[in-house]
Structure 1
Amino acid sequence: MTTELSEAVASEWYPVLLSKQLSDKPVSVTLLGQSLVVFRTSAGVHAFNDLCIHRGVPLSLGRVVDDRLVCAYHGWCYDGAGKCVSIPSLPAERAIPDKARATTYSCIEESCIVWVCPGTPALPYPSFFPYRNAEDKTVLMGPYELAAAGPRIVENFLDVSHLMFVHEGLLGDSRYSEIQDYRVNELDGVLRSDEIVVYQPDADGRGTSMHSHYVYEVYGPFTAAIIKRNPDNGERFHLFLMVQPMSEQLSRAFMLKARNYDKEASDDAFVAFQDTLIEQDRLMVENQKPELLPLDLQAELHLVCDRLSIAYRQRLRHWGVNFGTA
């Protein structure tokens, strides 16, 4: 997998599964065009190439027994480090071949999500983790499967000028569609926009209209966030987007919303609101042409309000991202 990916892509952590979806059975997932098997032992979570070295059967068809992943075809057993430790058909006096190993990937479990890094991790945790506020109330949203390239999904998330049309009546009003000029800066590897003010009839699903103050952040090729605040009462939330690029035109979007208000309130309304927004976005991102995000800035027309999209595409080119881009 990593031989065809740039370092910036290979060194990232990607969400692949909700923790609650991983119990005592292995699960097959797809990341960057590669089939992986994820499973749990007493030592934690693990990710292998979903292929037994013996006869090419998916290891996800097997089972976990005594902290070992057992292939369903011939019973070969792999430990958490990918080493084959038992071959039932092999005579006891014969040594297990050194080549009998599964291809392994770094795998961790954080924020009720299982994460996989296809290469050598740049950080011991996903890139957005340092920007979370531990005092905020956090709710997990999704995952949402979208027939779209990962970079298209991220760019849609960063696109402030679509709010007044795709999400009219909620996040915007087409009568107030003008976007003030703003700048995008880069600090410590994070792209960050100036604050952008947007009138919103329903800012977060509670039916409250206000002039929201937006700041956008980009942490990596497939990870971004919105900070939205109400200067009148100090309410703020941080909405993190993490995309699992399954194939170049199929992705899953995981979201974490961290808010500093209504901490005792039910999360249901906030989740339902985001579900609605995703379905509105789906029609756009699943029908964009070309399907892959063009990195040549001459391929599409850009305006001043697209400064963040321009900066994101330039950053993808700098990172050498060739998955989901053209």
Structure 2
Amino acid sequence: MTANGASTHLVGQPALDHQWYPIALSEDVAPGPVGFQVIGRRFVVWRSDGGSLTAAIDRCPHREAPLSAGRMVDGCVECPYHGWRFGPGGRCELVPSSPAGTRIPPKAHLDALWVEERYGLIWLCPGTPQGLIPVIPQEHDASFRRLNTPFQRWAVSATRITDNFMDFSHFPFVHTATFGGAQETVVPPLHMGDLPDGYRGYAYDVMADNTTDKGQTTTGQDADVLHRRMTTGYVLPFSVRSTIAYESGLEHILLLLATPVDDVNSLFNFVVWRNDDFSVPAEEIMAFDLAIGAEDQAMLEQLEGVLPMDLAATVSVQSDRPSVEWRRSLAALLDGAAPGESPSGT
């Protein structure tokens, strides 16, 4: 436990049940069923013939077979063990072993969970939503295009991923092969505050190395060093938005997302919005950001366990102020939120 009572574990934390977690690209559930693990529990998601999504615990109520191992039949997910079928909202539509007209037991129906589709991603809330899906206004701005990347599994706690993305003092040391080589190591005083759209974070300046081919493709500029005006802010529990503005007028918005699979494994995904002229293929643009992410992954997977919420367990300096504030906020969330009831439908 931390000094204020928050456990260093993520699995079994009631407050985390009531937050939103990205689990897949929209195209990954077409139609499904697809199984996922979030905070130590297994869930299944599928898409009906009409396109609507249903999420539930990945367990048939009959003999507890995983529904994600089944198949889709006539818009229903069919259990692989005895063929029970479940339609939109988790309603049991068929028990093959029962004669036609037999009443289906009420407990045969699945308890549907909250599921949303936004930014080309599928978001799951295991309980009653108390948190929010992060807001990205550029999603509705025709001058921006959205670029999605595949989900990755990282062997590191979601707490350490978020702590990393709230910090930029690691840039000159971790991102040496991409953009960090031109960044000063000394970090000026950082001022935390409320950013637009519900994020809590800070603004800062970065001198970015721009000598690689991938970097120049991403920035659309050929100067060796570029000035970036950036903001970084979080939405609890594990979402970070990083905005990058270049002097050319190009804006590059990243939504960096960590979903805890368990205490020490995570799904990682990021989404990008850009106001470029759309002429460069998405794959070429994303290659640079994927290389940056690979540098983060290589460093973070060397770190063991969940990042302690007890601030006295690690040493922090002034440049760590953003991640320290995020840790305090997460610890308060874990201590203060009460369990809720799961909905019967979305």
* TM-score, L = length of structure 2: 0.84
Q: Which residue number in structure 2 is paired with residue 86 of structure 1?
A: 94
Gaps of 5+ in 1: none
| 1:236 matches 2:242 | no
Q: Which residue number in structure 2 is paired with residue 316 of structure 1?
A: 330
Which of 205, 219, 243 in structure 1 is aligned with 2:215? 205
Q: CA deviation at 1:93?
A: 5.0
The answer to which structure, 1 or 2, has the higher relative contact order (CA under 8 A, 6+ apart) is 2
User: d(CA) in 2 for partners of 1:211 and 1:130?
Assistant: 24
Deviations 1:183-224 (A, max 9, x none): 11146853121x211211129721652121221111121111
Structure 2 counterpart of 1:17, one-letter code: A
Q: Which residue number in structure 2 is paired with residue 223 of structure 1?
A: 239
Where in structure 2 are the equivalents of 1:21-36 lying within 5 Å?
Answer: 21-36=28-43
CA RMSD of aligned residues (A): 2.4
Contact 2:48–2:87 (CA<8 Å) still a contact in 1? Answer: no
Any runs of at least 4 consecutive aligned residues in structure 1 with deviations exceeding 6 A, and if so which?
A: none
Deviations 1:152-200 (A, max 9, x none): 111111210001111025322277211111111146853121x211211
User: d(CA) in 1 for partners of 2:95 and 2:317?
Assistant: 62
Q: CA deviation at 1:94?
A: 3.4
User: d(CA) in 1 for partners of 2:335 and 2:22?
Assistant: 18
Deviations 1:61-116 (A, max 9, x none): 21222222211111111121222222111233532111112232112222222221
Q: Match of 1:228, SS?
A: strand
Where in structure 2 are the equivalents of 1:143-182 lying within 5 Å?
Answer: 143-173=151-181, 176-182=184-190
Structure 1 counterpart of 2:122, one-letter code: V
Contact 1:47–1:106 (CA<8 Å) still a contact in 2? Answer: yes
Q: Which residue number in structure 2 is paired with residue 16 of structure 1?
A: 23
Q: CA deviation at 1:11?
A: 2.8
Contact 1:15–1:116 (CA<8 Å) still a contact in 2? Answer: yes
Which of 248, 262, 265 in structure 1 is aligned with 2:263? 248
User: d(CA) in 1 for partners of 2:335 and 2:182?
Assistant: 34
Q: Match of 1:161, SS?
A: coil
CA 1:93–1:87 in structure 2 vs 1: closer, same or farther (change >3 Å)? Answer: same
CA 1:46–1:118 in structure 2 vs 1: closer, same or farther (change >3 Å)? Answer: same
Gaps of 5+ in 2: 1-9, 217-221, 337-346
Aligned length: 316
Which one has the bigger strand percentage? 1
